[in-house]
Structure 1
């Protein structure tokens, strides 16, 4: 199958599973914002984000290695899955031993058991689902995404509406859905056949650990750029302000949705080219279409930020719309940073992924401490955008050492400037803002539509050529 056609085919399949899980955020927003008040939602958000910080530590980042080495035909799949499984068990055991210490951490003392349940089952589900994807069972991977979405909705209604468990119900709904997903994948993909505790290749174990260990701090730094502002907002402005901020993060998930669907398929296709020149052409063409989609989607989200917020959340959370524009910009560049991370993944240069992310995390914390006390919640949103923007610039320059992507610098600057203008217009609600937003969105579509259409034309043309 042609590399572009295969990429599109996998993207469509992953879209089925990923879209359902991502759209879950929007389906449940009306429920969350009506069952939980601003303060409770702020606490729930910190519980989940604390768990997300612990996941790469407990798993030693092994999920990244499971994907990378699972895609390598020369590596035993049993060695890969067994290494991941044993690593997670050992990491969680260590976490249990540290329970007395972790119980003293703010936001954990009252919810330690919930966080432990969330972390363990999230690690196991990631292991099973990502290994299934690496094995090439893309349809099963997609179906699991749909199934997980359905069960999560059911358990949220059951725990939050029927049982009225509040914060506990929110976390337990995620835990129960993840547990059922693990059982489903273990049986349907017969993952139990890949577990063994003896005879595992030491070379595979050492190679996987050398690859993933530098990614532990990398993931933690990613977490800092995504979440540190929420802790500082909660500390400086209170849980209610953080509740609004947490809600505003959900809308840019639409941009992240486009990225996640594509990246899942892209990570499989990125290894197909063997010659350097062919690889550079492939990366360049794909990125130009990718960034056009991201900027166009981001522009549309800023235009409809108020409307989306009005439809999705209760009146108590409506004010969260004003934090969406800068978060959309941050998410757009976060997605492009992830794309460039594929270069490091392809070359197995995880140390450089760590270095660039560490710089971004440092910038993020410094700007949060400066901007949030002075400008409030939007100071944190702007700090997140700047940190991702800097990481993108660093990776855009450094990855040329391995793959020389040909950048259209003028178009990138134009698209970024357009999003910034849209953000400032909406946040400040200048007179006739809606007409300015519509006009700027139309310009953004016209500017980026060409790259999208060229890609579609190429795919359709190749398909017709093969059909003849």
Structure 2
């Protein structure tokens, strides 16, 4: 099987596991929006996002190093996994010491134990899943995704419907599912054989931390780009508005879902690819990836109203008007992530930090300017611009390492099509549906060639 076929095979396997768990976000939306009020949903969103902010700090970003160094055959897996285990538990112990500080935040004070459970279980699951991926156990990773979906549904129904625990049940359902997932991966992959606390190769540990530590502020800065607008919307408007904004994020995450499934497989191919053939390989894959992401984004804008009508309760229906710009944001977020794979291959995590800092700074400044003037959609547009800026910076710097070919005029054209769709839908111009259909078809026609060329490469087998 050629490298394109191998990439496609891994993508399909990851899709089976990842899609089942990620699609859960949409399957559970009717439940969430009926059990929780818009204000409660806004509060629980802040709790979860605070937990997501703590993840890279507590772990020192070590899970990123586990997949990168685990795939590299020059490092022993015992050293890689043991470094991850020690780092996470040490970081979590230090987190417990910050309790007095965290208690100052009103939306955390009553949920500190839940927050700690969310953080620890999420880190352990991430550590185990990244190790399993680095070992090439794609089928186990897929099975875990399916089981995670089943357990999350079970715990959500049990805690939210059965016990009626509200915000507590929402967070606890996530932590419970992650706990079972970590235990499943640890036992079936027999990861215990890789755990040791003595005679760890210190050179490996230092190399992993040198790679991962710059990713701590990087991840935090992306968190700022993604989430700071939610805090600002809450502070400058109210928590109910943030509840609508948080719900509006759910449909655009379909773009991230498509991207995330592919990126899981792509990281394995990117690291192991022959350096002499990377230029053409990266160029071909980026062209197809970009075509797929823009086509999916265009279709989602077309069906934004219908999707919102189906997925959420009537009280949350007005959230549809924030979806178009958020879809544009997630589209460029995916492109930024792809360019980040070049930094991963070359172990240039500092460049990830620099580009992330510029993106986060842009986002905060624009939020402060646009939210007072345009409300929630000002925050959505600010997020889009920040990702656009970060992508341009990454594309320029990444090309100095791997001279990828990417069609700039075509990229601009696709972006303008999405922008036109967004304005038409938000303004609800007369005959907006006809315009949306026409622009979506235009996006499909102009990108179908790249997708077909990719299919041919995947089906072509080396002699």
TM-score between the two structures when normalised by the length of structure 1: 0.98
Paired with 2:68 and 2:116, the residues of 1 have a C-alpha distance of 27
Paired with 2:53 and 2:156, the residues of 1 have a C-alpha distance of 23
Counterpart residue number, 1:22: 22
Counterpart residue number, 1:395: 394
- Count of residues paired in the alignment: 463
How far has the Cα of 1:242 moved from its partner? Answer: 0.4
Q: How does 1:179-218 map to 2 (within 5 A)?
A: 179-218=179-218
Contact 1:359/1:391, CA 8 A, preserved across alignment: yes
Counterpart residue number, 1:438: 437
Counterpart residue number, 2:124: 124
Q: Secondary structure at the match of 1:300?
A: helix
Paired with 1:229 and 1:293, the residues of 2 have a C-alpha distance of 28
Q: How does 1:423-462 map to 2 (within 5 A)?
A: 423-460=422-459, 462=460
Counterpart residue number, 1:376: 375
Tell me the alpha carbon deviations over residues 168-193 of structure 1, each in whole angstroms, 9 at most, x when there is no partner: 00001001101110111111111111
Q: Secondary structure at the match of 1:419?
A: helix
Tell me the alpha carbon deviations over residues 351-385 of structure 1, each in whole angstroms, 9 at most, x when there is no partner: 00100000000000111111111111000000000
Counterpart residue number, 1:43: 43
Paired with 1:106 and 1:269, the residues of 2 have a C-alpha distance of 45
Counterpart residue number, 1:220: 220
Q: Secondary structure at the match of 2:107?
A: coil
Contact 2:288/2:451, CA 8 A, preserved across alignment: yes
Structure 1 segments (4+ residues) deviating >6 Å: none
Counterpart residue number, 1:98: 98
Counterpart residue number, 1:299: 298
Q: Secondary structure at the match of 2:74?
A: coil
Paired with 2:61 and 2:249, the residues of 1 have a C-alpha distance of 25
Q: How does 1:43-442 map to 2 (within 5 A)?
A: 43-276=43-276, 278-442=277-441
Contact 2:2/2:458, CA 8 A, preserved across alignment: no
Q: Secondary structure at the match of 1:179?
A: helix
Contact 2:121/2:175, CA 8 A, preserved across alignment: yes
Tell me the alpha carbon deviations over residues 386-410 of structure 1, each in whole angstroms, 9 at most, x when there is no partner: 0000000001111111011111011
Paired with 2:106 and 2:390, the residues of 1 have a C-alpha distance of 30
Tell me the alpha carbon deviations over residues 234-286 of structure 1, each in whole angstroms, 9 at most, x when there is no partner: 1111110000000000001111111001000000001233344x211000000
Gaps of at least 5 residues in structure 1 are: none
Counterpart residue number, 1:12: 12
Paired with 2:134 and 2:395, the residues of 1 have a C-alpha distance of 27
Paired with 1:457 and 1:407, the residues of 2 have a C-alpha distance of 19
How far has the Cα of 1:217 moved from its partner? Answer: 0.1
Paired with 1:275 and 1:102, the residues of 2 have a C-alpha distance of 46
Paired with 1:120 and 1:198, the residues of 2 have a C-alpha distance of 23
Paired with 1:208 and 1:146, the residues of 2 have a C-alpha distance of 30
Q: Secondary structure at the match of 1:340?
A: helix
Paired with 1:458 and 1:65, the residues of 2 have a C-alpha distance of 31
Paired with 1:459 and 1:116, the residues of 2 have a C-alpha distance of 44
Tell me the alpha carbon deviations over residues 89-133 of structure 1, each in whole angstroms, 9 at most, x when there is no partner: 000000001111111134222221111110011011100011111
Paired with 2:186 and 2:356, the residues of 1 have a C-alpha distance of 34
Tell me the alpha carbon deviations over residues 186-224 of structure 1, each in whole angstroms, 9 at most, x when there is no partner: 111111111100010000010000000000000000100
Paired with 1:59 and 1:271, the residues of 2 have a C-alpha distance of 23
Gaps of at least 5 residues in structure 2 are: none
Paired with 1:367 and 1:172, the residues of 2 have a C-alpha distance of 35
Contact 1:3/1:272, CA 8 A, preserved across alignment: no
Tell me the alpha carbon deviations over residues 417-451 of structure 1, each in whole angstroms, 9 at most, x when there is no partner: 00000000000000000000000000000000110
Tell me the alpha carbon deviations over residues 127-157 of structure 1, each in whole angstroms, 9 at most, x when there is no partner: 0011111111001001101100110001000
Contact 2:228/2:364, CA 8 A, preserved across alignment: yes
